[in-house]
Amino acid sequence: MRPPAKEAEATSTEEDLTLVSTLADLLECPVCMEDMSRLRRIKILACSNDHWICAGCAEHSQVSTCPICREDFRQNPPRRCLNTEKIARSFAKARAEQGQISVV
């Protein structure tokens, strides 16, 4: 049995908001707390455990370890995450089209 149209629409909206919130949390750099999807030049790096960090923080001389697992970036430099960057660009584009964000 299908839920009534208004109820299904409300559930869909709640699920969409949850997804947007979760994605926004995932795209927050754990060092500078910046939303990586808002950056004009999106460049996301990750340690070997796939913890994401913005390139600005990864390239900063004071950030020598992953902020999550403490992997040493001098011994194992972070690698670029092209698929994550594509997701961040798509997310930023969708939010911009809905008037939710501006690029910093």
For position 29, which CATH number holds? 3.30.40.10
Residue 104 within a domain: no
Q: Is the pTM of this model over 0.75?
A: no
The dihedral sign for the CA sequence 56, 59, 62, 68: positive
45 assigned to some structural domain? yes
Position 89 in a domain: yes
Total of domains in the chain: 1
> Domain range spanning residue 23?
5-97
Residue 58: inside a domain: yes
pLDDT digits (tens, 9 = 90+) for 9-57: 455 677 777 777 888 899 999 999 999 988 778 899 999 999 999 999 9
How do residues 61-85 score in pLDDT, each as one tens digit? 899 999 999 999 999 999 999 999 9
Give bridge partners of residue 35 from the DSSP assignment: 28
On whether residue 103 sits in a domain, the answer given is no
